[in-house]
Amino acid sequence: MVRYAKEHKSETRRRIIETAGRRLKQDGIDGSGVSTLMKDAGLTNGAFYAHFESKDDLVTTAIADQLKVQAEDVVARAAPGRAGLEQIVRGYLSPQHRESLGDGCPNAALLDEIGRCTDTTRQAYTDGVLVLVEGIAARMAPEAPSSARVKALSLLGLMAGTLQLSRALTDSQLAKELLDQGISNALALLDTGQRV
């Protein structure tokens, strides 16, 4: 029997989490079975339980990871201040993001299913969303981010809902118009309460 180094198990687990995150966003939680998730990672079903206790455990881990990546790759890398917020909004509500479910936002892809998940998964989601929201709030109100927390959460809700609805539409022109209106609405939300 071949013994693998500790790093191998860690790298394998990381690969499972990353590929599961993409698949879950693409096919949904209920539409992604353990066998498909493991096949995506290049592994057999038998290897699953060496890394996770259950599918719920993997879903919880993958959702938390996807939100962490979004906070690090989208929010933290955006330009400072209002310009960065506009960059986030325009990138989020872009036709490219609309078309890339597997590589896109876990909120827009999974929100309807997360509400029906276990408390553990919902808590991991809540924790991840709060990190994301705090990053947005810090851009909205650098001097007092906590004062912008609910506004940042509202912005995320507006963007995720707009993206979800645009993905559901078969009329591509209407979907584009919806994304454009979503950008206008999001930018207006950013500007409410601003001092001139």
List the chain domain ranges.
55-191
Asked whether the beta carbons of 41 and 123 are under 8 A apart, the reply is: no
* CATH architecture for the domain at 55-191: Orthogonal Bundle (1.10)
Instruction: Please give the mean pLDDT across all residues of the chain.
Output: 92
pTM of the model: 0.88
- Cα angle at 57 between 53 and 60, to 5 degrees? 170
Predicted local distance difference test score (pLDDT) of residue 8: 78
Closest CA to 163 of 81, 102, 98: 98
Predicted local distance difference test score (pLDDT) of residue 196: 37
- 61 vs 74: CA distance, rounded Å: 20
φ and ψ at residue 117, rounded to 5 degrees: -80, 175
pLDDT in tens, 2-55: 566 667 788 999 999 999 999 999 999 999 999 999 999 999 888 899 999 999
Predicted local distance difference test score (pLDDT) of residue 144: 92
pLDDT in tens, 152-169: 999 999 999 999 999 999
pLDDT in tens, 68-100: 999 999 898 998 889 999 999 999 999 999 999
Predicted local distance difference test score (pLDDT) of residue 81: 87
- 23 vs 26: CA distance, rounded Å: 5
Which amino acid, 67? Answer: L
Predicted local distance difference test score (pLDDT) of residue 5: 67
Does 193 have pLDDT greater than 60? yes
pLDDT in tens, 114-149: 999 999 999 999 999 999 999 999 999 989 999 999
